[in-house]
Chain A
């Protein structure tokens, strides 16, 4: 079955530390992959996307993600987090049927 898995429900990092949020998918081919961020009471904002080509993609707010076909993964990274990065992060995939399938999300807490 086609699915997106985010294994970490909640991650806490110190301000200025590096961040990696994990995402895995289950699909027989390479889907279109996305990372979205959601602040409380807000809709989802697109951080970055991967369709094809270079497996390291750059996004907004200093985020990047790396697609690894061998691991069916699309992990999100940031070298140095800021307090304003505290939010819920969703990985999503388009499995060729127009709609997005989302993971369950990872809540990011930043401590001073």
Chain B
């Protein structure tokens, strides 16, 4: 497909487990963003890549959160030692260039039990 693809669609983790969430952006899109959307809330910015460079990680809530985009395409958001407050939908978005509209994936719903 031509859209942003995220996997898995759903993830259930026991508290303390590590998880990895994958994002395949639209081919050729330079910018990639991760957002966290808690239930009933708007998306909150986590981090931003331009190609392989992570230019802004100011939204990552703790050092348990880590994101990478080593070849400037696919990105992985990793959460170590998951906590219940990490339960949310994690949205990935990509854009063709700076300040272009974002195209969002359908998200990964993470539930930490």
Contact = CB atoms under 8 A, between A and B. Distances in A.
18 contacts: A41-B106, A42-B106, A43-B4, A43-B91, A43-B93, A43-B106, A44-B91, A44-B104, A46-B102, A90-B42, A92-B42, A98-B48, A98-B98, A99-B33, A99-B45, A99-B48, A100-B43, A100-B45
Interface string B90-113: 010100001101111111000000
Contacts of B42: 90, 92, 102-105
Query: Contact residue range for chain A?
Result: 20 to 34
B41 interface: yes
A108 B8 CA distance: 28
Interface residues of B, number: 24
Contacts, number: 53
Given A103-B42, A105-B42, A98 B56 contact: yes
A102 B45 CA distance: 9
B20 interface: no
Do most interface residues of chain A lie in helix, strand or loop, or is the interface mixed? strand
Interface in A11-62: 32, 34, 36, 41-46, 49, 51
A102 B41 CA distance: 9
Most chain B CB within a 10 A radius of its CB, from A43, A51, A101:
A43
Given A90-B42, A104-B41, A98 B104 contact: no
